[in-house]
Structure formats: structure tokens, C-alpha cells
Amino acid sequence: MSAGDKKSKSKKSAARQRAAQGVSLTDALAEAAWAEADAALAQALADFDETQTAEGARARKDALERLGQALSRAARKRGLARLGSLEDELTYDPDAHDLNEAVAKTPKTIRIQARGVTRGGEVLTKPRVGRVSRKKRS
Amino acid sequence: MSDWTLCIDFGTAYSKAAVAPAGAWSRFDPATVRPLMLSPEGQNTFLLDSAVFVDEDRVLFGRVALEEADAQADNKRAALRSFKTLLSVSDLDRALNTNAPTTIDPHRVFQMRDLIVLYLAYLLASVERAIVSDPMLAQGGTFTRRYAAPAWRGGDSAGMHDVIVRLFGEAEAFRAAVGKRILSPDGLSLKTISDALPSATEQAESLEMGLIFEATAAAAYTSVGLEGSGSHMIVVDMGAGTTDIAALARLGPRTIELPEARVTLKQAGDFIDRVIANKVLDAAKWAKRPDARTELWTTLMRQMGDIKEAVMADGRATLRNQGRSVSVALRDVEKDEDFRDFQKSLRQAYDHALAIVRDDARARGRSEVQTIAVGGGASSPFIQDLIRRKMESARPRIVPRPATPDWAHAREFRGNLAPVFPQLAIAIGGALAPDSMLAARGGISPPANDRSDIPVERD
């Protein structure tokens, strides 16, 4: 059987049906932009399950690493980038940082506990920060 | 009705095309950039698989060709994919007149030239279909056509322009002869091709097409719409097979290449893939037997795009093979002797090109040199470090530009152009560039190695 015969029997793909219906440029860009991110997110969901069912610390650590990897890949495919570096000590700026704890007195210096996320100059999530304890600073 | 500029990026794996209004360079509006939906198959409709498969009684194109080639792989059958590599060989005429190997053409009826013409006809028909289905472009107008190419063979791309436009001309004549049938998932029968191709080849005229170098297209999408952007630019393009460095200078309305700055290194993405794969094989102590190592290598190569991206972006990647996890870190790759040699060569090549472009900028009284990395390896830390490196002398100052320009994040695209921009960048840049940035126009090319002699013309 030639490829032509096989193809004529196959169903029209969803993508081709959408093309026939006249997909807008924005919708097509969105579908293309999400395609690889979708695959990475699917991978992340499976990896997350493995973090729950892993037997032993080593297996759990491996699964967590793969989960982080899949999430990072999904983020990159969506044009997201990290902001700041973990453990960096900076002067606290309430406009630029989310303080991760309730404090009586605003800290002068903070440490980045979780990086922020940006896309094209827009900050989607500020870096989460904590106070620098005296013990750690010394 | 408007006038438009269409640019085709004839890629190794995929072909892409984009359209921009004529004069977009001087009156730039991101919303008017139109990447073309070339392929009705797959989730990314902007990528058209560069593939031709010669079947039992017909020729298939694009995704269908790849699927059929996969299905018949056990019979030593393959699709023709590497058009771009073929077009880059030093003796192009001889390569085009070579018979296709039996794995690609078991009937032994096609020369490589025929298969390229057939694919270009399919590509041109796909472009036409995309234009007709785009509500903005379907309103009509004239379309000026261009194609993007790397600076092949150390600077002779412009000299090959006449051959390429002739191939496009033959493809256009063939497309006119067979009509929309070429877009059918069933492809074209061998009889249809043998009836139409010889006369199309004989009657064809060279198509009116411009040539834009890929580095120039990168300069165009980087600089468009920027008030007072720098006149000089150095482009580091790391693809799969080569890493190319090119320097450009914008002098008034025209852009010239500084040919003495151009360097091509034979190490690029594929080379780094091998370094990473070997590091993983070294780390996978359980894979000692040849069959286990072969199986791991196959898994690695299948996932290498993601693995390499994670190594470069996150500093580490973990993959699973036969129920075990194995990791590779960027620092392991950076310790590799071959990799270090590559980095050294790259740094020397970049420094050589940068010295030339800075000298030129200084001589013309310019204060700034922009640096940009493009291609699959653009985000690699060592490439980013290279283009961001501080110089001992402050002037002209170095201004690194992002691989995805800020305008790709414009609200009109709702965050959806930027993620796919790297794949479409060259086609978009080629469509935005003014005529004065072209390396060749129409069927006429400038003398070889005289690219700075592009006539001045206002956009």
C-alpha cells in the first residue's frame, strides 16, 4: 500500500482542520509557543508523581531533580527567565522583593530564598527573600 | 492593497517564511510582521519540514515524506533532507547534476537538482497557500521575494545566487504546471513529474529574488525600530554544524559586511552534543557492554536537545536510562579537553573579528559596537559570556543585544511570538531588512568578495 493510500484513509489532523477553518495568526503562534511547553509540563506531572512514590532518598532526589528540569524547560519554552541568584545577599527593596516572613522591623539586608521570574522585562514573580540572620552573616 | 516583502528561510530541518510591509524598516510596527503558516500539520504550523521522499510510484513532501521514510527505514530507504548542506558545497553544479543515491531514489530517475526543484516547488506552493489564508495578506498587493542563506564557502554565497534563483525559477514553472496537486498529502505521481518537470526546467526563467545573509537578517531584527542603534554589529551564529562570526557596519541607509572579519569554525552544536554524550557514557558505570552503551547513546541523542538546553541553562541535566538516573554538569563539559580547545578557538576568532569591527567603528568615528548571538547555541553561557565581555579600551563600547528582541514581546502577540521567535528569526529579519542590506538582488549578484559594493538605495 502506498503512502498515498494510507494517507487518504487517515483522518484529517486537528491542526489541518483548524487551518481549514482559518486560524488567526495569534492563535497559531499560541499553539506553536505552547507545543513544547506542553510536553515539558506533561513530563513534570509524571516526575512529580515519582517524587511521591519514590522509594528511598536517592530515588526521591533524582525525581525532584528531573521535576525541576522539566519545569525549567517548560518555563524557557514560554520565554520565562529567572531573576536573581539563590543565596545572593542584597539590600532589601520592598518594590523588588517579597519578604518571606512576618517581621516587626524591616530588614536592611536580605538573602534570596527563591528566584523571581520575568518575561521580556516584565516581572511576573518577585524574588522571595528572607532576613539574613546574624549567625549566617558572620 | 499594500506592498509586502517576503523572506524564505530555507533551513536544514525546516523551512520558514515571513512577510512584512515594504518600508517596515523605516516605519516599524511589530503588529504588521506576519510569520507564514506554511504547514497544516503539527502544532507548530510555521515550520515546514524540509524533506522529499521518493516512494514506489510517487514523490511525497514535508511531514508526510518523513513519516513514510520512517515507515520504510528498515528497507534502507530515506528522505532527502540536507538541501542546505548540498547547496553549500564548493562545486555546486556537479553536486546538482549527481544522481540521487538509491536509498533516496530507488528508481534512479532523479538527479539531486530535480529533487531540490521539486521541494522548492512544494515550498513556493506552501507559501502561496499561507498568503491566501492570511486575512491581512489575502487582500492583495505585490510581494517582493527574498531568501536567506548563510555566508557559504567563505564568502561565495553571493556568487551562487544566480544558481539558486535559477532553481527557484524552475520550481515556480513546475508549480504553475502541476497546480495545487503538489500540496496533496498524497504527493505527486512519478508520471505527473516526468510529464511536467522537463518542460518546466526548459521554459523556466530566473525568479526575481533577493539574497540576504543570515547574519544581516539577525542585524535587521535586532536593530529595527531602535532609535540611534549602533552602526556596527558582530554576530555569533552557532548552528548545528558550524559556528559563524560575521561583522556588519551600517553606513547611512546601507549595510556592508566586513569580509575580513568573517570566521567559520567547524565545531558547533553537534560537537557539543558529542562532548555531552561522552560525559554521560563515562558517568554511566552500569553501561559497560557495547549493546548497553549503544542503547544509552541512542537515548541520549533522542533527548539531546533538552539535555543540552538544561546543561547550558541550569548547569546540570539528569536523564533516566534503564531505570537509573545519570547526570551531567556544565562544569564537566567545561573540563573536557576538546571543548576547551573549541572555546579557545572561538575566543580567538571572536577577538579577531571584534578587533576588525571596532577598528572600523573607530575609524568612522562611531562610539558603539553591538554584539548578538543567534542560532541554536545562542543561549549557551560561554557564548553569552563572550558577547558580554568587557574590553580594555572603553571605546567604542560593547553593547550586547538579546537574542530575542524586545519588540517580540509586544502586547499584540500576547506573549506568544517570543517563545517561537528563535525559530522564525531569520525569516522575520530578512523580511524587515531594507533593500540596502541585501547581498544580491534579482538574478544579478555582485562580484564575489565585493559585498561592500552594494549600491546605495533608500528604503
Query: Could you tell me the pLDDT band of residue B455, with boundaries at 50, 70 and 90?
Result: very low
Of A19, A28, A69, the CB nearest to B314: A69
Of A18, A34, A2, A39, residue with least CA distance to B41? A18
Of B141, B80, B136, B139, residue with least CA distance to B106? B80
Residues 89-128, chain A: which have Cβ within 8 Å of B? 119-122
pLDDT at B263 over 60: yes
A59 plus A92 within the same structural domain: no
Query: Could you tell me the pLDDT band of residue B393, with boundaries at 50, 70 and 90?
Result: confident
**Could you tell me if B22 and B5 are in contact, meaning their C-beta atoms sit under 8 angstroms apart?**
yes
With H, G, I as helix, E, B as strand and everything else as coil, classify residue A89.
strand
State mean pLDDT over B311-335: 89
Query: Could you tell me the pLDDT band of residue A5, with boundaries at 50, 70 and 90?
Result: very low
Residues 153-212, chain B: which have Cβ within 8 Å of A? 185-187
Cα separation of B53 and B63, whole Å?
A: 10
Query: Could you tell me the pLDDT band of residue B74, with boundaries at 50, 70 and 90?
Result: confident
A67 plus A85 within the same structural domain: no
Contacts of B40 in chain A (CB under 8 A): 13, 15-16, 19-20
Report DSSP letters for B308-329, one per residue: HHHHHHHSEEEEEETTEEEEEE
State mean pLDDT over B4-9: 95
| Type of residue numbered A32 | A
Contacts of B185 in chain A (CB under 8 A): 4, 7-8
How many domains is chain A built from?
2
**Could you tell me if B193 and B406 are in contact, meaning their C-beta atoms sit under 8 angstroms apart?**
no
A73 plus A119 within the same structural domain: no
Whether B45 has its CB under 8 Å from any CB of chain A: the answer is yes
Whether A42 has its CB under 8 Å from any CB of chain B: the answer is no
The distance of A35 to chain B (nearest Cα, Å) reads: 6
Whether B133 has its CB under 8 Å from any CB of chain A: the answer is yes
Please indicate whether, in this complex, the C-beta atoms of A7 and B40 are within 8 angstroms of each other: no
B422-449 pLDDT tens trace:
889 999 999 999 888 888 887 544 433 3
Of A2, A15, A76, the CB nearest to B45: A15
Whether A21 has its CB under 8 Å from any CB of chain B: the answer is no
Q: pTM score, two decimals?
A: 0.81
pLDDT at B33 over 90: yes
Of B133, B306, B319, the CB nearest to A22: B133
| pLDDT value, residue A120 | 76
Alpha helix (H) ranges present in B44-89?
62-71, 83-87
**How do strand B232-238 and strand B368-374 relate by DSSP bridges?**
parallel
Query: Exposure string (b/e) for A99-112, b if CB count within 10 Å is 16 or more?
Result: bbeeeeeebeebbb
Of A2, A25, A73, the CB nearest to B58: A2
Query: Could you tell me the pLDDT band of residue B390, with boundaries at 50, 70 and 90?
Result: confident
Query: Could you tell me the pLDDT band of residue B317, with boundaries at 50, 70 and 90?
Result: very high
A39 plus A65 within the same structural domain: yes
| pLDDT value, residue B156 | 59
Whether B112 has its CB under 8 Å from any CB of chain A: the answer is no
Q: Cis check for the bond before B396: say yes or no (omega within 30 of 0).
A: yes
Furthest C-alpha separation in chain B: 67
Whether A57 has its CB under 8 Å from any CB of chain B: the answer is no
B241 vs B49, more confident: B49
Query: Looking at chain B, which residue has its C-alpha nearest residue A24?
Result: B134
B124-141 pLDDT tens trace:
999 999 999 898 898 888
Alpha helix (H) ranges present in chain A?
3-9, 14-20, 25-53, 57-77, 134-137
**How do strand B209-213 and strand B141-149 relate by DSSP bridges?**
parallel
Query: Looking at chain A, which residue has its C-alpha nearest residue B186?
Result: A4
B19-29 pLDDT tens trace:
999 989 888 99
The distance of B124 to chain A (nearest Cα, Å) reads: 18
ipTM metric: 0.79
The distance of A18 to chain B (nearest Cα, Å) reads: 8
Whether A85 has its CB under 8 Å from any CB of chain B: the answer is no
Please indicate whether, in this complex, the C-beta atoms of A16 and B37 are within 8 angstroms of each other: no
Rg (CA), chain A: 23
Query: Looking at chain B, which residue has its C-alpha nearest residue A71?
Result: B310
Residues 243-302, chain B: which have Cβ within 8 Å of A? none
A37 plus A52 within the same structural domain: yes
| pLDDT value, residue B152 | 56
| pLDDT value, residue A135 | 60
Q: Which of A78, A96, A124 is the last residue of a domain?
A: A78
A92 plus A66 within the same structural domain: no
A23 plus A56 within the same structural domain: yes
Residues 418-437, chain B: which have Cβ within 8 Å of A? 418-420
Q: What is the 3-state secondary structure (H, E, C) of B342-362?
A: HHHHHHHHHHHHHHHHHHHHH
A103-134 pLDDT tens trace:
888 899 999 999 999 987 789 999 999 998 76
Query: Looking at chain A, which residue has its C-alpha nearest residue B54?
Result: A3
State mean pLDDT over B202-229: 83
Give the number of A-B residue pairs with CB atoms closer than 8 Å: 132
| pLDDT value, residue B446 | 40
Kindly report the CATH number assigned to the domain that includes residue A97: 2.30.22.10
Q: Which of A78, A104, A125 is the last residue of a domain?
A: A78
Contacts of B191 in chain A (CB under 8 A): none
State the best of A1, A11, A29, A55 to mutate against chain B, taking most chain B CBs within 10 Å: A29
Structural domain range at position A28: 1-78
Cα separation of A23 and A38, whole Å?
A: 20
A6 plus A45 within the same structural domain: yes
Residue B249 CB neighbours (<10 A) = 22
A112 plus A72 within the same structural domain: no
The distance of A13 to chain B (nearest Cα, Å) reads: 7
- The most confident of the ranges A49-63, B214-228, B406-420 is A49-63
State mean pLDDT over B400-415: 88
A79-93 pLDDT tens trace:
888 999 999 999 999
| Type of residue numbered B343 | Q
* Cα separations in angstroms, B173 against A17, B181, B320, B406: 30, 14, 51, 40
Whether B134 has its CB under 8 Å from any CB of chain A: the answer is yes
Query: Looking at chain A, which residue has its C-alpha nearest residue B315?
Result: A69
Q: Which of A54, A78, A102 is the last residue of a domain?
A: A78
Helix count and strand count (H, E) for chain A:
5, 7
| pLDDT value, residue A41 | 95
| pLDDT value, residue B157 | 60
Q: What is the 3-state secondary structure (H, E, C) of B414-438?
A: CCCCHHHHHHHHHHHHHHHCCHHHC
Residue B244 φ/ψ region, left for φ over 0, alpha for ψ in the -120 to 50 degree band, beta for the rest: beta
A49 plus A89 within the same structural domain: no
Query: Looking at chain A, which residue has its C-alpha nearest residue B407?
Result: A120
| pLDDT value, residue B335 | 94
B42-63 pLDDT tens trace:
778 999 999 999 999 999 999 9
Whether A23 has its CB under 8 Å from any CB of chain B: the answer is yes
A55 plus A121 within the same structural domain: no
Please indicate whether, in this complex, the C-beta atoms of B40 and A25 are within 8 angstroms of each other: no
Query: Could you tell me the pLDDT band of residue B41, with boundaries at 50, 70 and 90?
Result: confident
Cα separation of A24 and B187, whole Å?
A: 27
State mean pLDDT over B392-410: 86
Half-sphere exposure of B77 (CA within 13 A, CB side): 19
| pLDDT value, residue B91 | 76
State mean pLDDT over B121-125: 96
- Identify the bridge partners of residue B147 per DSSP, sorted by sequence position: B8, B211
State mean pLDDT over B235-256: 83
Q: Is the dihedral of CA B334, B339, B344, B345 positive or negative?
A: negative
* Cα separations in angstroms, B273 against B264, B270, B291, B311: 19, 5, 20, 11
Q: Which of A20-24, A45-49, B2-6, B236-240 has the lowest mean pLDDT?
A: A20-24
C-alpha cell belonging to residue A57: 532518598
**Could you tell me if B257 and B245 are in contact, meaning their C-beta atoms sit under 8 angstroms apart?**
no
| pLDDT value, residue A22 | 55
Average pLDDT over chain B reads 86
Portion of chain B with pLDDT greater than 90, in percent: 50
A100 plus A132 within the same structural domain: yes
